[in-house]
């Protein structure tokens, strides 16, 4: 069994998982789903949580039995060969420098709610955040895991406090009447929006080697984190549906001020929700930075990418790979600012990348896991295919990447094989 005596356990892993999924959307996505589906947002979150559980379970099983820094790329390689595995790994690396800066921009909605800023000042603040991520990762993921576990408890605590304050209203709500108003199309649209809250499940598999006992702890950590996140989103949606519209653009700030108006922390919604929103968003980016750095290091060690990135510091952190990832994020932030372009369409493209990664990882499970898990794997594949269909033309980006990367990986493998024979 692969064990790491100084690694993280299942509870810290569950905290990492939860904060990765809560991320930038914990206090934003519920109001977005309500905007498109109204009361049907409740059904959307419930169905989405149930649908994503098989995917989380399969990823947990794969990571526990095949712990490797390459994560899904390693699973796919073991099942379908080096070309497929390396293609998936590079797809992940190419998605992170675009998706992570977009997450930082979303996080700054909470930052600017507390400290109004714009223009160059905001750009400098975003670059400082990237620098802080470097400092946070220098001594390994263990420190991040402990901090993010505490953050998860804080988010759960605030949501529980709000639910407790509004419990009488929630109990009195006529949910049978609400259910009769649900409509198919808006609920499906809300599920599509809500799905982005669960992007990040695959990132945890890159960190399997950092667990003390990955075979024992990965599955419960990923399952607990996923279910906890689904419950939090569902409760936040309940809460917002029963909160009068406030003055803040962030509905959870208005909910905090409304439901806790008679408490000593009345009026502190901007500060409390703002700080937790910023911290959760940065936690998401932090896990992606750590996981993608380990993937880059793994590819460098295997000779797929230059050997320059194999260097680790005294804490086992692939420092050059981490720097490369963070610098690429900073570069995208700067280019986006000066070009005046928005990242929303790039977010949709990166989501297409993750649908392909999820689907191929699920397909690899058919070959790598025992037959008793096949109904679970099949359900996960159906879910991924459905998401791909829903994304439609946004899948074009990932298809172009595959058309370019896969032949290059095949040529590289063929070249190495010929050189070894000669």
Q: Which is more confident, 15 or 384?
A: 384
Which pTM does this prediction carry? Answer: 0.76
Which residue has better confidence, 167 or 353?
A: 353
Provide CB contacts within 8 A for 235, sequence distance 6+. 159, 163
- Cβ–Cβ under 8 Å, residues 299 and 89: yes
Q: Calculate mean pLDDT across residues 279-287.
A: 78
Q: CA angle 75-208-99, nearest 5°? A: 75
Percent of the chain with pLDDT over 70: 89
Cα Rg of the chain (Å, integer):
21
Residues 145-189 pLDDT 10s: 667 677 777 888 888 888 888 776 655 555 555 555 567 778 877
Half-sphere exposure of 39 (CA within 13 A, CB side): 12
Nearest CA-CA partner of 202 in 325, 364, 361: 361
User: Quick one: tokens of 360?
Assistant: 């191929």
Tokens found for residue 171 = 């109990």
Task: Name residue 8's beta-bridge partners.
Answer: 211
Please name each of the domains of the chain with its CATH number. Answer: 10-421 (1.20.1740.10)
Would you say 104 and 285 are in contact if contact means Cβ atoms under 8 Å apart?
Answer: yes
Model confidence at 4: pLDDT above 70:
no
Residue 140 structure tokens: 């390994």
Q: In angstroms, how far apart are the furthest CA atoms of the chain?
A: 80
Residue 1 has pLDDT above 50, yes or no: no
Mean pLDDT of 113-139: 85
Q: Which H/E stretch holds residue 302?
A: none
Q: What's the CA gap between 18 and 280, in Å, rounded?
A: 9
Can you tell me which residue has the tokens 């493209």?
349
Tallying the residues shown for the chain, one arrives at 422
């Amino acid at each position: 069994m692969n064990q790491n005596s100084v690694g993280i356990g299942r509870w810290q892993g569950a905290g990492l998982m939860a904060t990765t999924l809560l991320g930038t959307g914990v206090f934003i996505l519920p109001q977005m789903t309500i905007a498109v589906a109204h009361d049907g947002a409740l059904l959307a979150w419930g169905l989405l949580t149930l649908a994503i559980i098989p995917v989380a379970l399969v990823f947990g099983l794969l990571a526990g039995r095949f712990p490797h820094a390459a994560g899904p790329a390693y699973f796919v390689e073991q099942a379908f060969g080096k070309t497929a595995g390396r293609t998936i790994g590079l797809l992940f690396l190419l998605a992170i420098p675009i998706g992570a800066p977009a997450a930082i921009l979303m996080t700054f909605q909470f930052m600017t709610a507390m400290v109004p800023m714009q223009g160059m000042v905001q750009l400098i603040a975003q670059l400082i955040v990237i620098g802080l991520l470097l400092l946070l990762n220098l001594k390994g993921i263990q420190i991040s895991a402990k901090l993010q576990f505490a953050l998860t408890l804080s988010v759960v605590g605030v949501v529980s406090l709000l639910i407790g304050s509004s419990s009488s209203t929630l109990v009195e709500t006529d949910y049978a009447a609400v259910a009769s108003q649900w409509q198919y199309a808006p609920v499906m649209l809300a599920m599509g929006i809500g799905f982005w809250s669960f992007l990040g499940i695959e990132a945890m598999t890159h960190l399997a080697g950092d667990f003390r006992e990955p075979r024992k702890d990965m599955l419960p950590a990923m399952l607990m984190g996923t279910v906890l996140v689904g419950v939090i989103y569902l409760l936040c949606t309940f809460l917002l549906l029963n909160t009068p519209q406030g003055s803040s653009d962030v509905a959870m700030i208005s909910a905090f001020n409304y439901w806790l108006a008679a408490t000593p922390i009345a009026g502190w919604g901007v500060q409390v929700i703002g700080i937790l929103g910023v911290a959760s968003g940065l936690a998401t980016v932090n896990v992606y930075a750590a996981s993608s750095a380990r993937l880059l290091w793994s590819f460098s060690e295997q000779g797929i990418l230059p050997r320059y990135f194999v260097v680790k510091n005294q804490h086992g952190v692939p420092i050059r790979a981490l720097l490369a990832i963070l610098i690429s994020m900073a570069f995208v932030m700067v280019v986006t600012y000066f070009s005046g372009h928005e990242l929303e369409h790039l977010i949709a493209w990166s989501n297409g990348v993750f649908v392909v990664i999820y689907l191929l990882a699920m397909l690899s499970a058919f070959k790598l896991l025992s037959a008793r898990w096949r109904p679970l794997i099949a359900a996960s594949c159906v879910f991924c295919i459905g998401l791909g269909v829903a994304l439609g033309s946004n899948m074009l980006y990932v298809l172009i990447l595959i058309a370019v990367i896969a032949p290059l990986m095949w040529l590289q493998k063929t070249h190495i094989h010929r050189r070894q024979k000669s």
